[in-house]
Amino acid sequence: MAHDGAAARRRRHVVDRFRRQARPGPARGGGARRQDVAALSQDRHDPEAEGTMSVVHAITIKATNASSLRIRALWGAFARFELSSSMQALDYAPHFTFALYQDVAPEEVSRAFAAGFSGKPAIRVMFDRIEVFDAASPIVWAAPRDASALAEIHAAIHRTIDPARCHRHYRPLAWVPHCTLATRIRPACKADALALTGPLADPFEVVFDVADRVCLPPLTVVEHLHLQ
């Protein structure tokens, strides 16, 4: 139990660090299970709007080059703790999600997408930890060492659309930049999966080179931009 408490404190410290890097506006939201493109595409709806089956619009950045192989290897490492690989089933490259919207017009999301990425270069991200959201039902993720470049994009997007219209976990102050590794850890395998979280012995860099505007379900890329 002491070990569990120390791990929880460590995770809170990491999350707080990322939120400070993001430098956003007023905090909103609670502690419900986090959602991202991976989880939403499999759940097929946003629990904040259960019963509506509205289309979800997301703004993401993904890695489509050989540097993404280290993230894909971690997908495989955690897939053994799932009934089947949640990330392989997604059929989408390793990514960060900046915003999730329901009931926002596509043209508004397109303007926010342009605000976030126009003139931006590819983003080099060094990963040095594996972390977890919602330890009772874990979402496992790779943590960036420095999220400042990601935070600039996030801030530009949320200056374009009122943050109150975004999913609460992606609003300023609530957002934690994360690259998802697994969303469906089996309860019986939870302890084994959590044992693999923490500092990485061999940190690695991934180049995120394509920005996407997607809608789901099903996950469909409706706008993309290659970053140089």
pLDDT digits (tens, 9 = 90+) for 37-85: 766 555 433 334 344 458 999 999 999 999 999 999 999 999 999 999 9
Cα 182–Cα 187–Cα 193 angle in degrees, nearest 5: 50
pLDDT for the residue 137: 83
| Mean pLDDT score across all residues of the chain | 86
Asked whether the predicted pLDDT for residue 121 surpasses 60, the reply is yes
Asked whether the predicted pLDDT for residue 5 surpasses 60, the reply is no
Q: Average pLDDT of 19-26?
A: 45
Residue 217 — very low, low, confident or very high, per pLDDT cuts 50/70/90?
very high
Q: What is the DSSP string of 20-46?
A: HHH--S------SPP--HHHHHHH-S-
pLDDT for the residue 27: 32
- pTM recorded for the entire structure: 0.81
Which domains are delineated in the chain? 2-226 (3.90.1140.10)
Give the phi and the psi of residue 36 in degrees, each rounded to 5. -145, -175
pLDDT for the residue 99: 99
- Cα torsion 109, 133, 178, 62 to 10°: value is -70
Token reading at 91: 């059929």
Amino acid (1-letter code) at residue 137: S
Instruction: Report percent pLDDT > 90 for the chain.
Output: 74
What's the pLDDT tens digit per position in 100-118? 999 999 999 999 999 999 9
pLDDT for the residue 53: 54
Cα 125 to Cα 50: distance, rounded to the nearest angstrom: 34
Q: Average pLDDT of 33-39?
A: 61
pLDDT for the residue 135: 73
Q: Which of 14-18, 98-102, 184-188 has the lowest mean pLDDT?
A: 14-18
pLDDT for the residue 51: 45
